[in-house]
Amino acid sequence: MGITCENCGAPAQPGVLKCTYCQRPVSAELARHAIPCPHCQEPNLWGAQKCVRCQAWIVVQCVFCGGVSPHNQTACLNCKEPFAGAPERKAQRQAQQQSQQNAQTAAVVGNVAASFLGAVAGGIIGGILDD
């Protein structure tokens, strides 16, 4: 099962947007979602990872979720994180998480110390009552 060129009716090559006969996009719908190669400008089908003509990568990997999105997108298709400044934002977020974890650890240590002090106080009171 394949698609045929909308313009000339020739069978379209799988994964190739441009008709080999008339050199026009085999489908206007597919052309609308085409990803231009950053290297050779060849339009590639949505969902392709490498350029059909020069094999250059036409997708970028998200630093947050590792998902790949076409290079002409401004944000990750998977987690919606904008690509602009993404590595810096990730570093910032990790630093934030780190300090949050430190704060949580301090809170836990604080609780343990409080209950320890409470037990000691209880022991002293118990000792007094025993007398």
Tokens of 29: 């719908």
Residue written as tokens 């810096």? 88
Residue with smaller CB distance to Zn ion, 21 or 31:
21
With contact defined as beta carbons under 8 Å apart, do 35 and 21 qualify? no
Any idea what DSSP says for residue 47?
T
Alpha helices in 9-85 (DSSP H): 28-32
Site for Zn ion in 33-72 (CB under 5 A): 37, 39-40, 42, 51, 53-54, 56, 62, 64-65, 67
Q: Give the ranges where 1-131 is alpha helix by DSSP (H).
A: 28-32, 86-130
Nearest CB to Zn ion, comparing residues 64 and 120: 64
Query: Among residues 3, 8, 121, 124, which is the contact residue for Zn ion, using CB under 5 A?
Result: 8
Distance, in Å, from the CA atom of 43 to the CA atom of 54, rounded to the nearest integer, reads: 11
Binding of Zn ion by 17 (CB under 5 A): no
CB of 125 to Zn ion, least distance (A): 57
Backbone angles phi, psi at 101, to 5 degrees: -65, -40
79: contact with Zn ion by CB under 5 A: yes
User: CB of residue 35 vs Zn ion: minimum separation in angstroms?
Assistant: 10
Return residues touching Zn ion (CB under 5 A): 5, 7-8, 10, 19, 21-22, 37, 39-40, 42, 51, 53-54, 56, 62, 64-65, 67, 76, 78-79
